[in-house]
Amino acid sequence: MKLASIQAAEKKLLLNTYQRTPVLFVGGSGVTLRDEQGDEYLDLLSGIGVSALGYAHPAVEAAIAAQSKRLLHTSNLFYHEHTAELALRLTEISGLDRVFFCNSGTEAWEAALKLARAHAALLRAEGKKVGTRFLAVEQSFHGRTMGAVATTHKQKYREPFEPVMGGVEFVRFDDVADLRAKFSDEVCAICIEAVQGEGGVRPVSKEFIAAARELCDSTGALLLADEIQSGLGRTGEWFAYQHYGILPDITTLAKPMANGLPMGAMLCTEEAARAFTPGMHGSTFGGGPLVCAVAIAVIDTMKQTDLLAHVRDVGGYFKQQLEWLQSRHDCIVAVRGMGLMLGIELDSEELAKNAASEMMKQHIIVNRTSETVLRFLPPYILERAHVDRAIAALDGILTTQPLNSAAMAGRAPAGEETHG
């Protein structure tokens, strides 16, 4: 068995940043992952919302194969064939005007923070009164780099690295009065996730987003919507903000963009884009030919197969089944989410841990976030039959709870500490 020797080597060689579940995956297809013994797992997490078209998707494989024979890298000093093609698609589906490409979620968010600061400086130079402060929301998660952790609420992600970027104040989730009280012309941007992911799968209210939009409009501050997890179809619309009938000034994308290849993007309005001039921001790898070719294949496949409608259909069914489970089990205190970004909040951390590890024993991958929330971020190609299997398994597990937690010891569930 390779797993044991790999575990031992990693323990010695890698930084101690992850608590991995002891499984060695070697392959997969569709919504199924395969371990070294050939055992199959139903994946309801897709690598934290990344493998949206599932594993071994023919369109993704074809795009990688074709581009790998042509060109992998040019740097941003030159043109290549796919940048504009992809940017056109992203502007069409988002309603925004311009795109900056990078390699991960946190980098996209960092670009958004920098653009917001630069835009406010531009407005000041034009005689307007807009400050440099950010408002972010409690329970938010925006990434791991210094600016991103500064706008991330959870203390454990931020405090060890202080001093982080200054000038950030947190607003209580969904509290319009708190938002209004903390907003002023000192603020250059309001940071939101239309549906908080890491924070426990929490869709924000229409009133809160509308108030944020209105406050920003009143001064020229920018509304920043982090769609790194919720974007590109995850909630059944291309962007979660589209459920709310608003347009942010800036949005960020990453996780599902290139179906597993690292890629991020920041999209913005023409007005915000004015603030960046050549040399102010950039990336060596960002928007390279390979990832762009794959991202185009992802978007085109989603359009050709009407995958948004499928996400709404299967996601709606999944949520309805979770609500049915809730009616059977008092330990489920909430069912939340949209499309295939769903979560159930359980009444104890212990139960959530046990439920996730019991699911793993039954070869169904789910994730626990925010201590008590089981999170589901399956591939978009999930079918109702997969939902039925997961619901039956959860029903059985919650029926036999409370489990003996000692028996569970040593078996960490997937994403014991999540980072997405």
Ligand X SMILES: *Cc1c(COP(=O)(O)O)cnc(C)c1O
Structure tokens at 383: 């079918």
User: What is the contact mask toward ligand X in residues 348 to 387, using x (rule: CB under 6 A)?
Assistant: ----------------------------------------
Closest approach of ligand X to the CB of residue 231, in Å? 9
Q: According to the binding rule CB under 6 A, does residue 248 interact with ligand X? A: no
Burial letters 146-178, b for 16+ CB under 10 A, else e: bbbbbbbbeeebbeeeeebbeebebbebbbbeb
- Among 67, 106, 219, 372, which residue interacts with ligand X (rule: CB under 6 A)? 106
* Candidate segments 33-41, 81-89, 137-145, 154-162, binder of ligand X by CB under 6 A: 137-145
Nearer to ligand X, 325 or 376 (CB): 376
**For residue 116, which of 226, 211, 208, 204 has the smallest C-alpha distance?**
226
Q: According to the binding rule CB under 6 A, does residue 157 interact with ligand X? A: no
Nearer to ligand X, 136 or 387 (CB): 136
Nearer to ligand X, 49 or 220 (CB): 49
Instruction: Return d(Cα 102, Cα 282) in angstroms, integer.
Output: 8
Burial of 127 (0-12, 13-18, 19+ CB in 10 A): exposed
Helix axes 289-304, 83-94, angle to 10 degrees: 40
Nearer to ligand X, 113 or 254 (CB): 254
Structure tokens at 392: 């039956």
Is residue 268 helix, strand or coil? strand
Torsion-angle region of 379 (φ positive above 0: left; ψ -120 to 50: alpha; else: beta): beta
Q: According to the binding rule CB under 6 A, does residue 286 interact with ligand X? A: no
Q: According to the binding rule CB under 6 A, does residue 233 interact with ligand X? A: no
User: What is the contact mask toward ligand X in residues 162 to 181, using x (rule: CB under 6 A)?
Assistant: --------------------
Q: According to the binding rule CB under 6 A, does residue 259 interact with ligand X? A: no
The DSSP element (H or E) to which 25 belongs, if any, is strand 25-29
Closest approach of ligand X to the CB of residue 365, in Å? 17
- Among 47, 143, 288, 415, which residue interacts with ligand X (rule: CB under 6 A)? 143
Phi then psi for 27, rounded to 5 degrees? Answer: -170, 180
Is residue 252 helix, strand or coil? strand
Q: According to the binding rule CB under 6 A, does residue 193 interact with ligand X? A: yes
Q: According to the binding rule CB under 6 A, does residue 104 interact with ligand X? A: yes
Closest approach of ligand X to the CB of residue 269, in Å? 20
Q: How far apart are the first and last CA of the chain?
A: 30
* Candidate segments 99-107, 238-246, 302-310, 321-329, binder of ligand X by CB under 6 A: 99-107
Phi then psi for 51, rounded to 5 degrees? Answer: -80, 70
Q: According to the binding rule CB under 6 A, does residue 192 interact with ligand X? A: no
Interface contacts to ligand X, rule CB under 6 A:
104-106, 109, 141-144, 193, 197-198, 226, 228-229, 254-255, 420
